[in-house]
Amino acid sequence: MSVETRNPTGTDLRAEIDRLRKERNAVILAHYYQKPELQDLADFVGDSLELSKKAADTDADVIAFCGVKFMADTAKILSPDKIVVLPDMDAGCSLEDSCPPQKFKAFREAHPDHIALTYINCSTEVKALSDIIVTSSSAETIISQIPEDQPIIFGPDRHLGGYLNRKFDRDMLLWPGVCIVHEAFSEKELMKLKAQYPGAPVAAHPECPPTIIDHADHVGSTSSILQFAKTFPGDTLIVATEPHIIHQMEKALPNKTFIGAPGADGNCNCNICPYMALNTMEKLYACLRDLEPRIEIEEGLRLKAKQSLDRMLEMASGTIGEGDLGRV
C-alpha cells in the first residue's frame, strides 16, 4: 500500500522553505508587487533589476525569484552560473506580451536611424535587439545623456515613453504597449478619493496613463514611491501603483495611512497584478525542492541581451533601485 505524502502548510511550510533555502544555498528575491507573505520571507525585497544585481553579488548557488518571468530572465542574464528558478513559469507581463521579438525586429529595421531605448519589462530576445535598457528609475538619467537630434524608439510602454517625451520635450517613437495594472486606474475614481482626503498627495508610477500622472504630486519607480512615502510631510498618501507595495509602507511607517488608488469599479482590487499573484508560498516551496521551473537562456542570446543592460549600468548605475530593502 502506497503512503500518501502531503506538502507542508502554514508554519510548517515557512520552516520547510527556510530549510530548503539553507540546503540549496539559495537567495529568495521578492518584488514589491508580491503577496506580503512572500515579501516577509525574502532575503531581498525591491525593484526588479536591483534584486538581480543584489543576487549576483551573493555567493548563493540558487536564485528563487518571486516576481515575473522577465525579472527571473534578467537574474539569469547577470548570473549565468547560478540556478534561477521561478515559482510559476506562467507569471508573465502584459508589457512583454505586447512586444513580440519578430515584430520589434521589423519595427527597428523600418527605422534604421533610430536607437532603441527599451524598458526592462520585455523579453530577453527584445533586450538583445535593443541598444540600451532603461528602468523607471534610470530612464530620465539616460535620456538626458542622448543628443536631442538622435531619433529614439522607446518601447514597450507607451505611457512611460509618453511621460518621458513630455518631460524632456522629446519625440521618441513609441511602441504601443501598456501595463494592464496601471492602465486600470480611473481618473474619475481618483478625483473622488482626492475629495475624500483633501490635501493627501498622490504618488504614481510612470506606467500610469497621463490622466493619472496629471494628478500626481510624485511620479517615480516603486523604490522612488517608497522613498517619497518616507519623506512626505502629511499623514495620508494615495498610491497609484500595484497595491502590494503598501505592505512595505505600512511596515516602515505604521503611523501613516496609505490608500491604493481605485480602478474603474471604485476599489483597487482590479489593480492587483494577476501575473504576480500566480506565485505562492506553496509554489516557492516546490521550486526550491525540485529546482524547477528553471530559467535557461542560450549563451549567445544572453550575451547580446547583457550588452544593453551593461550600457544602462554604465550610464545610470547610481539610479538603479534606490530604496530597495535587504533583510536584516
DSSP string, 122-144: S-HHHHHT-SEEE-TTTHHHHHT
pLDDT digits (tens, 9 = 90+) for 282-321: 999 999 999 999 999 999 999 999 999 999 999 987 665 5
Average pLDDT value over all residues in the chain? 93
pLDDT digits (tens, 9 = 90+) for 123-154: 999 999 999 999 998 999 999 999 999 999 99
Alpha carbon distances (Å) from 77 to 25, 57, 87, 142: 19, 13, 18, 21
* Range with lowest mean pLDDT among 131-135, 149-153, 209-213, 261-265: 261-265
CB-CB contact of 205 with 136 (8 Å): yes
pLDDT band at 266 (very low <50, low <70, confident <90, very high): low
Average pLDDT, integer, range 245-267: 90
pLDDT band at 327 (very low <50, low <70, confident <90, very high): very low
* pLDDT at 326 > cutoff 50: no
pLDDT score of 6: 62
* pLDDT at 34 > cutoff 80: yes
pLDDT score of 263: 81
pLDDT band at 269 (very low <50, low <70, confident <90, very high): low
Question: Parallel, antiparallel, or unpaired: how do β-strands 44-46 and 325-326 relate?
Answer: antiparallel
Cα distance between residue 263 and residue 166, in whole Å: 25
Q: Which residues contact 61 (CB under 8 A, 6 or more apart)?
A: 24, 25, 26, 82, 83
Work out the percent of the chain whose per-residue pLDDT is above 70: 92
Query: What 8-state DSSP symbol labels residue 61?
Result: S
pLDDT band at 8 (very low <50, low <70, confident <90, very high): confident
* Amino acid, res. 302: R
Average pLDDT, integer, range 28-56: 96
* pLDDT at 267 > cutoff 80: no
Average pLDDT, integer, range 207-211: 96
pLDDT digits (tens, 9 = 90+) for 45-79: 999 899 999 999 999 999 999 999 999 999 999 99
The three three-digit cell numbers of residue 26, written as one number: 539559495
Average pLDDT, integer, range 166-185: 96
pLDDT score of 328: 28
Question: Parallel, antiparallel, or unpaired: how do β-strands 115-119 and 132-134 relate?
Answer: parallel
The three three-digit cell numbers of residue 61, written as one number: 548557488
3-state DSSP percent of the chain in helix, strand and coil, to 5: 45, 15, 40
